[in-house]
Amino acid sequence: MMKFLKFGVGTVFLLLIIFVVFWVFFVDVLVENVIEAKGTEILGAMVELDAADLSLFPSGLLLTRVQATDPEKPMTNAVDIQRIAMSLDVLPLLWNRVIVEEMSVEGVQFGTNRATSGVIPGAKASLKAEKPFSIALPTLEIPDVKKILENEDLETVKLIDTLKADIQHERDIWKKRLKEMPGKEQYNKYKQRVKALKKSAKGGIGGILGGVEEVQSIKKEIELDVTQLEGAQKEFKEKIALLKTRLTQIKSAPQRDVQKLKKKYNLSADGLSNVSQMLFGSHVGPWFRQGVVWYERLKPYLEQGQGSPEAETSGSSDEPGVEFLIRLAKVSLILEAGEMSGTVHNITPAQAVFGEPLTFMFSGEKLKGVNALTFDGTLDHRQAARSSDQVQFTANGYQLKGVTLSQDKKWPISLNNGAADVTFTAELQGQDVIANGTGLLTALNVSAGGSDDSNPLTQSLSRAISDISQLSVNADVTGTLKQYDVSLESDLDDILQKAAGKMVSDVASKFSQKLQAQILAKTKKPIKDLQTSLGALGPVGGDLSNRLTENNQLLQGLLKQKLPKKLLPGGLKLPF
């Protein structure tokens, strides 16, 4: 008995020593490795942890210096967290659940430098580098009209060639059809048959009865010919009307060519109607695209657990994993402008299990370069197929300094100083996105153009921009996360169009006059030839009319007037 007790106590004591050694020397390293591996897998770039300390009494976890690499910039941290501390509930561990009532996240920074690259071998960047844009400014030089017309395919010329071919085609068709339709030869045959009827009337009762049948036959044949000729005449008139309409349209085509070429060679101020899209869109577009990329990285980890598509398709219900919930995270952010604080509620990859959406709220006041910032939202993925997310952001009194709006060498633009009040809202229903951003820019100091600029147009535009002290900007995003459109407009477009309008209008007028004169000279004779060619179809209509007239006269007059009214003794009349 004593030996058994000694053996039992010794075994327990040995196991306790092994557990203590493992906990002291290995458990923290194991936790650290798991966090780094899982974080790297989720992010697609290196996640590093200086230290992890898992304690039993009291139960909790402390993480020191968490660095998450920006996948697009391997030498920069997307997020750099100095300290994360949390307490753990022990009892839920029995049901494979980790529940953290409160977590403290301290010293969160963005865009810090890394000592070594955090790129993962084989990883590809998801964002494409933005290409520099060039502003399409209208020119004040009149292009060489002669050279333009030598190289351009004018719509007028194409229409003339097409109509010319169609008129010739119609002439060939009607020439052939006239040969196939009842004409003079057929008309003469009818006359001969009618003449023969007169003789038959003198041949007794047999000749009279035979004549009646012949009259009926001739009448039906002439009526059929008249119907055929009337149909052909109607069709011919419709063809001629259509050809005349096309000829009328061709006469106005030179003006359309003038307008088209004016736009092509930028001789209008319309090109300045989308300057806001280029100047401000080059900042808004990449910012929104980056937000979409980070959202799509996060989204799969909001929709795990029971009830989610991932759970239903992966078979995870047979081997349930550990589910965790962080009820409250208190976060302190360290920005260039100062410190912000905020809270995040219900952090879990299994919203369907715990039944609560993720919500967050961050705010800061009297920061350096901005009076107030707020950022809040809700990410509801409790039903993955009908996820619903809302995000709001406001910035009041945001100071603008040294913002490059255009790097275009022919017309650089810089926003030197100013202030902005910005509001942004976004709503996601599944993959559908609707977002709107508005901004009021005040106390602006904008410089444009270079000191060596000799172009009178850009000089005028630069003066107009330099006089701007206030602007309103509006941006809308619609579509899906995979394919969306960003449209942006501001007061700047109207200001620039007015500044350039008079100068461009004078040049455009001279260019238009030269273009119109040259195009009319080039198309005058071909259009006149079309009129002549179309007129050559006139005899076809005349021929059809003559044939109809002859046949109608024969039908209505010849039979009645040339044949005796009484062909039988006693006054028996013909039955027609």
Q: Residue 257: left (phi > 0), alpha (psi -120 to 50), or beta?
A: alpha
Are 29 and 82 in the same domain? Answer: yes
What DSSP assignment string belongs to 273-288? GGHHHHHHHHHHHHHH
Determine contact, residues 321/526, Cβ cutoff 8 Å.
no
Are 256 and 152 in the same domain? Answer: yes
**Cis amide prior to 58 (ω within 30 degrees):** yes
Per-residue three-class SS string for 57-84: CCCEEEEEEEEEEECCEEEEEEEEEEEE
Are 172 and 68 in the same domain? Answer: no
Are 172 and 225 in the same domain? Answer: yes
Tokens (6 digits) for 28: 């923290």
Domain boundary among 91, 113, 135: 113
Integer Cα distance of 445 and 441 in angstroms: 10
Are 104 and 150 in the same domain? Answer: no
Are 156 and 100 in the same domain? Answer: no
- Using CA atoms, how far residue 331 sits from 295, 364, 377, in Å, is 19, 12, 15
Nearest CA to 237 out of 559, 547, 566, 537 is that of 537
Are 189 and 108 in the same domain? Answer: no
Confirm whether 236 is domain-assigned: yes
Integer Cα distance of 549 and 541 in angstroms: 12
Domain that holds residue 64: 2-113
Domain boundary among 96, 113, 130: 113
Cβ-based burial of 467 (10 A; exposed 0-12, middle 13-18, buried ≥19) = exposed
Nearest CA to 268 out of 140, 149, 148 is that of 140
List the alpha helices (DSSP H) in 299-360: 309-314, 351-354
Confirm whether 254 is domain-assigned: yes
- Listed in sequence order, the residues at least 6 apart from 154 whose beta carbon sits closer than 8 Å to its beta carbon are 254, 257, 519, 522, 523
Confirm whether 513 is domain-assigned: no
Are 25 and 85 in the same domain? Answer: yes
Integer Cα distance of 379 and 384 in angstroms: 11
Strand 484-490 and strand 566-568: pairing? unpaired
List the alpha helices (DSSP H) in 402-469: 456-466
Integer Cα distance of 333 and 38 in angstroms: 24
Are 9 and 99 in the same domain? Answer: yes
Integer Cα distance of 568 and 391 in angstroms: 105
Are 16 and 97 in the same domain? Answer: yes
Residue-by-residue pLDDT tens, the chain, 576 positions: 444 334 433 333 443 444 333 334 434 555 666 677 777 777 778 888 888 777 766 777 788 888 888 888 888 988 888 988 888 776 665 566 778 888 898 988 888 898 888 888 766 655 555 555 566 665 556 667 888 887 888 888 888 888 888 888 888 888 887 777 777 777 777 777 777 766 665 554 445 545 667 777 777 777 787 787 777 778 878 888 888 888 888 888 888 888 888 777 765 555 566 677 777 777 777 788 888 888 888 888 787 754 444 444 433 444 445 577 888 989 998 888 888 899 999 988 888 888 899 999 999 888 888 999 999 999 999 888 889 999 999 999 999 888 888 887 778 888 899 999 999 999 999 889 999 999 999 999 988 887 777 777 778 888 888 888 999 999 999 999 888 888 888 888 888 877 777 777 777 777 788 888 888 888 888 888 888 888 887 787 777 777 777 777 766 654 454 444 444 444 444 444
- pTM recorded for the entire structure: 0.59
SS3 413: strand
Number of domains in the chain: 2
Residue with tokens 């959202």: 295
Are 173 and 106 in the same domain? Answer: no
Strand 323-335 and strand 97-100: pairing? parallel
Confirm whether 83 is domain-assigned: yes
Residue with tokens 């004409």: 183
Reported residue count of the chain is 576
Integer Cα distance of 426 and 476 in angstroms: 10
Are 83 and 182 in the same domain? Answer: no
Integer Cα distance of 469 and 442 in angstroms: 6
